[in-house]
């Protein structure tokens, strides 16, 4: 049996439809009780977001990928309501028995015990502090955070331990936690990267339907910078043929707002992401479909995705080199520097006796 395919988008959703889970041999038809008929008589599902509780007993995950800038991270949520059609994290949802399509956006797994588990891990005598990344997979400030406040509770634990953390987000909600971020910044223990893919509000609404608008992200950069919290901008992902020409404008706007560093990645389309993204293009930019897909192949050696370390983040070939040069020229011209290295020497376990030097 096949899943229902339709040609119209849903407000606030990135994926056009659900896709078969590559780990599942069984598929299912949609329950008619959750299908609504359009005015034209076409039956379409109208999924609501469902939150499921995660039963994990650990919260810090580790990786050994040589082209990722961190080895340890915290992800308060699995799945992401932002609904970005290009999100490389979509395939992770298949390991949970869900699809990389709409279920990635509508079935959000919540780690309610994250702060408790984090405190337990940091309190272990053998634990050695290292910079943790938040949003290494899905955005820790996605809309669910407004209600569950798991990211904030984790930051409060990190501030109590004076433990360094690096945050990546595309949501203005990060400014809610300025008080805790300022506390961490006092010990050089935090940095925030705001992801800005475009300055075009209409394009952003299609590409990242439930994320903050570009103007709000720039406002977040400004507020963080003025509060003394180190903040950078990530032009990520750069989609060849769609938003690559905006690199100079995004960097200029971010610098004017107070960003001190800048980075980028080029679009990745692993596993089911390529299907979600191509269907999104067919729906929103049918006239640009061939050109964009051709440009993506041009930076991936003729393929839609290359998973090899060293090239998967940056691409390869003449087109990719042009993107690299454009980014680096404007980064240097605008005076972006490097983020200050986060420090671990202030780490403490609350309740421990702190001996003063010379006593």
User: In whole angstroms, what is the distance from residue 252 CA to residue 254 CA?
Assistant: 6
Q: Is 352 helix (H, G, I), strand (E, B) or coil?
A: coil
Residue 231 vs residue 21, higher pLDDT:
231
Q: How many CA atoms lie within 13 A of 219 on its CB side?
A: 10
Q: Which residues contact 6 (CB under 8 A, 6 or more apart)?
A: 16, 17, 42, 44
Nearest residue to 105 via CA among 142, 137, 147, 146: 142
> What's the confidence (pLDDT) of residue 32?
41
Residue count (the chain): 359
Kindly report the backbone phi and psi dihedral angles of residue 77, in degrees, each rounded to the nearest multiple of 5, phi listed first.
-135, 150
pLDDT per position as a tens digit, 243-271: 999 999 999 999 999 999 999 999 999 98
User: In whole angstroms, what is the distance from residue 284 CA to residue 242 CA?
Assistant: 12
The DSSP-derived string for 178-195 is: HHHHHHHHTTT-EEEEEE
pLDDT at 1 over 60: no
Distances (CA, A) of 253 to 210, 213, 217, 327: 22, 14, 11, 14
CB–CB of 170/195 below 8 Å? yes
Token reading at 62 = 């580790």
pLDDT at 358 over 90: no
Q: Which residues contact 155 (CB under 8 A, 6 or more apart)?
A: 165, 177, 180, 181, 184
Number of neighbouring beta carbons within 10 Å of residue 4:
13
Token reading at 11 = 């407000």
> What's the confidence (pLDDT) of residue 87?
95
pTM here?
0.85
Give the pLDDT band of residue 50 (cuts 50, 70, 90): very high
């Amino acid at each position: 049996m096949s899943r229902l395919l339709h040609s119209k988008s849903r407000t606030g959703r990135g994926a056009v439809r659900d896709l078969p889970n590559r780990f599942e041999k069984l598929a299912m038809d949609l329950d008619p009780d959750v299908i609504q008929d359009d005015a034209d008589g076409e039956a379409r599902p109208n999924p609501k977001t469902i939150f499921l509780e995660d039963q994990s007993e650990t919260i810090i995950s580790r990786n050994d990928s040589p082209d990722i800038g961190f080895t340890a991270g915290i992800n308060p949520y699995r799945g992401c309501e932002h609904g970005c059609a290009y999100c490389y994290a979509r395939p992770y949802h298949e390991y949970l028995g869900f699809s990389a399509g709409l279920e990635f956006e509508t079935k959000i797994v919540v780690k309610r015990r994250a702060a408790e588990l984090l405190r337990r891990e940091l309190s272990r005598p053998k634990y050695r502090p290292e910079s943790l990344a938040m949003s290494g997979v899905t955005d820790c400030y996605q809309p669910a955070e407004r209600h569950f406040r798991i990211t904030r509770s984790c930051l409060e634990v990190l501030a109590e331990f004076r433990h360094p953390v690096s945050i990546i987000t595309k949501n203005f909600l990060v400014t809610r936690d300025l008080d805790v971020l300022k506390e961490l910044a006092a010990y050089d223990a935090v940095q925030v990267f705001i992801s800005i893919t475009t300055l075009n509000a209409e394009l952003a609404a299609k590409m990242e339907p439930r994320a903050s608008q570009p103007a709000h992200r720039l406002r977040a950069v400004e507020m963080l910078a003025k509060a003394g919290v180190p903040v950078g901008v990530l032009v990520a992902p750069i989609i060849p043929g769609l938003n690559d020409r905006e690199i100079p404008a995004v960097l200029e706007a971010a610098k004017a707002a107070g960003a001190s560093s800048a980075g980028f990645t080029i679009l990745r389309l692993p596993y089911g992401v390529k299907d979600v993204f191509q269907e999104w293009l067919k729906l929103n930019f049918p006239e640009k479909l061939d050109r964009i897909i051709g440009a993506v192949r041009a930076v991936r050696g003729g393929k839609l995705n290359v998973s090899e370390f060293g090239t998967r983040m940056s691409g390869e070939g003449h087109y990719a080199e042009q993107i690299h040069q454009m980014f680096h020229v404007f980064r240097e011209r605008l005076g972006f520097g490097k983020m200050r290295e986060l420090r671990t020497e202030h780490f403490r376990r609350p309740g421990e006796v702190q001996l003063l030097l010379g006593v």
